[in-house]
Amino acid sequence: MEPEVCMNGLCGALLAAEGDYKKGWALRSGGFANLCDKCGSAYEQLAFCEVFHLDDTGWRECTSCGRRLHCGCIASSAFLELLDNGGVSCISCSSTLGHNPKTREEKTKETGISVENSVGETRSSSIDNHVNVGNLNKIMLTKLNDGEELLIPSENAVASTSQMKLEEYGTTPMSLNGTSESPHAAGIIKYRESTGLKDVYGSLVQTNLTIGLSAAPGKPVLCPSTAVEETELNKTFSSFQQGTWSRHLLPKVPKSILPQGFNANPGMSSQIRVARPPVEGRVKNQLLPRYWPRITEQELQQISGDSNATIVPLFEKVLSASDAGRIGRLVLPKACAEAYFPPISQPEGLPLRIQDVKGKEWLFQFRFWPNNNSRMYVLEGVTPCIQSMQLQAGDTVTFSRMEPEGKLLMGFRKASTSTSLQLMKGSTYSHLSEFSRNVNLPNGDVGWHTNEQLGSKLMAGSFPPSEKKRSRNIGSKSKRLLIESQDALEIKHTWEESQDMLFPSPLQKPSVVTIEDNEFEEYEEPPVFGKGSIFTVCSSGRKSSVSHKPEQNQGYSGIDAQTPSTAEPSAAITTKHPRHRPGCSCIVCIQPPSGKGKHNPTCTCNVCMTVKRRFKTLMLRKKKRQSEHEAKIAEKNQLTCGPPKEDVEVSISVTPHNQLCYTLGHKEVEVGFLDNESSLLGSESTSKGHLDLNIHPHREERDRANGETRVSMMSLLQVANLPLETYLKQNGLTSLISEQQASSGSQTLPQETGETGGGDEEEDDRLGDES
DNA sequence: AGGCTGCATGGACTT
DNA sequence: AGTCCATGCAGCCTA
């Protein structure tokens, strides 16, 4: 399909070929996505005038459900004129054509900026935050509510595609003036709305406003833009470190982002979380905005009680897993530590008294470690304090200073309440407010990131790149913690899916235990991962009965779904394998690459050979253990009728994805995928007898209407009892025969007959060493 | 054995 | 290329 031109043909923008945007929800640079209200899936909407596809009417189809979606969102509204006939045109075309802008204006007057988005809901914002996009290189925003001017220099222009990276926040750009100075607004705002989860917040507009104000009234105020990256903010804000808070400039929160029942009112802006740039000049260019203390105006007002003390927010930090862990060491941002904490010259540092939200004083050791010719500052002994605050990874600790005493204060903000709940309650900084009832706002600028994390933080399963930066710091554990309460459902779902991957020992029948209306199969033997299990819920519960459905695993990636860690999603994500290097042949590193056809059955690459070796090892081990097992059974049968415990220590399973796994105790190891048409352990008539390392389980899933394919334990045992050579020949692994012969008695066999525990690791290590 | 300490490592990010 | 920082881990300490 040839790229099309903008439907009005005036701006000349090339529109994406259909195939480009229908590939899925994966975002490309400059693109953004909307969520389909029907299926919740995202569809890609490319940056307007860059590549933006409109069909004849300006509607598009959800790539998932086919539902037609309106090309409207708060961002695109900056560019689009929603036509009466349902079509869409960009503002430049619209203005040229003389389209009556009142359509949107009127909507705007009703609810601020009000544009129907893809789901038909009304996204609104204050009219004062009227979207305005000027030309690409220069934007002048004028006449704020109070008459102050905002000037966005060209180098920081909102629409500077080269600099603006709004996706850093996953937010919706908004500018701040009430008049559009640029009738030919055809700027491109790089914008990404969070996608990937069927999240109630996914459709919420996120607003990110960052404004620098000079203290001098009347002067043009440099505004780094409503959407610039942090570095830009840093640069720009450096000019305003000594400015004053300008509460009047706080943007109003779009209704749509507010919790239900939260009515917009003039005080609403007070609840916008503000990232304050550092108040002290010595770090103004060093402290990343992520460490800027964020505080809502309402919180400030709460703090501004009747106390005479002045609270100076210094910085904040999202707790990492390490910070919140039991080690009790809180890594301090270097710049923050050097800026706000006493200077230390010795690694031992010095004790630091910090008062917590309850007024309790804690004594920490503020010290540093030499690190790469630099320093790594830590607060030691924070565990009791963190536990006292019930903080977890993902929560935020805030450091402030009480003036004039200079006492350090430590507040916190729970991740679970840092967004909508806090907006609702407006008590985010209530902890901090306990410090004082009166605060003189430090001179500073306003840099606010309105609900920057609303929604984007929720993308536990698919953090948008915009959150990459922040998520990096907090890791997957933090992702878990950043999940809103509503997303507990997601966790539960994952848990269910994990349950779904358990399968009882084939040799034992599970007993059913009911826990909180959920019926669980209780296994005397450890369940096997990678096989289907039965997860049921009582009739009184939420679900009646859930049998195994391959589709349920669609949410998994091909790898994750089969790895044991899937049962612990966070663990699966946090594994970074820092010690793994190229050539590592551990089971993680040799995950079969996706894409059928990359590996032939005769492929002798490291991955294939390792898999084959392992399979061979498995078979040998299986054979040996089976013979031992049978001997034990015979022995036990003479004494008792109880089933042998060792039965399922080793098992082979074929998942519904045709994935061949073997399980050692609790440990499940993926071997590879069975060829689509073959059953590795099945009948000879259908077996091609080779491992296909590249079949994507989900693709196979779709092709396979029968659902799961399982091999009975007995057949596995039969296979295991076959002479290895026979088996290998049957299954096209003849190459391994010669290999085995070559290596028999030297390396493999002695180890194969060794201890069961750690056998895989031993082999991994050996293979790794070999490689 | 388990906890603690100090350092090393490496990915992510910045310059 | 340099820097930051989250985290792993070896070695030491302690119960």
3-state secondary structure A31-99: CEEEECCCCCCEEEECCCCCCCCCCCCCEEECCCCCCEEECCCCCHHHCEEECCCCCEEEHHHHHHHCC
CA pair distance A149, A337, nearest whole angstrom = 36
Q: Residue A517 has what pLDDT? A: 56
> Token digits for A550?
């391959």
A638 vs A505, more confident: A638
Q: What percent of chain A has pLDDT over 90?
A: 0
Q: Count CB neighbours of A10 within 10 A.
A: 17
Q: Which nucleotide is closest to A318, CA to C1'?
A: C6
Q: Which nucleotides of B are covered by protein (CB under 7 A)?
A: 4-15
Residues A37-48 have a mean pLDDT of 38
The whole-chain average pLDDT of chain A stands at 45
Task: Determine which of A215-229, A395-409, A581-595, A711-725 has the lowest per-residue pLDDT on average.
Answer: A215-229
Q: Hey, which residues does A602 pair with through a beta bridge?
A: none
Is the CB of A230 within 7 Å of strand B? yes
Domains delineated in chain A? 1-45 (no CATH), 54-95 (no CATH), 297-413 (2.40.330.10)
Q: Is the model's pTM score more than 0.85?
A: no
A671 alpha carbon, distance to own chain's centre: 28
A371 vs A168, more confident: A371
Q: Count CB neighbours of A342 within 10 A.
A: 11
Is the CB of A331 within 7 Å of strand B? no
Q: Which nucleotides of C are covered by protein (CB under 7 A)?
A: 3-9
Q: Residue A607 has what pLDDT? A: 54
Q: Which nucleotide is closest to A230, CA to C1'?
A: B14
Q: Residue A392 has what pLDDT? A: 80
Q: Residue A225 has what pLDDT? A: 32
Closest amino acid to nucleotide B4 (CA–C1'): A327
Residues A207-219 have a mean pLDDT of 29
Is the CB of A373 within 7 Å of strand C? yes
Q: Residue A289 has what pLDDT? A: 66
Q: Residue A397 has what pLDDT? A: 84
Per-residue confidence band for A365, with pLDDT thresholds at 50, 70 and 90 = confident
| Crossing angle for the helix pair A713-721 and A606-639, to the nearest 10 degrees | 100
pLDDT > 60? residue A26: no
Is the CB of A274 within 7 Å of strand C? no
Q: Residue A627 has what pLDDT? A: 78
CA of A298 to C1' of C4 (A): 34
Is the CB of A542 within 7 Å of strand B? no
Is the CB of A23 within 7 Å of strand B? no
pLDDT > 70? residue A337: yes
Q: Which nucleotide is closest to A286, CA to C1'?
A: B14
Is the CB of A334 within 7 Å of strand C? yes
Task: Determine which of A81-85, A251-255, A483-487, A626-630 has the lowest per-residue pLDDT on average.
Answer: A251-255
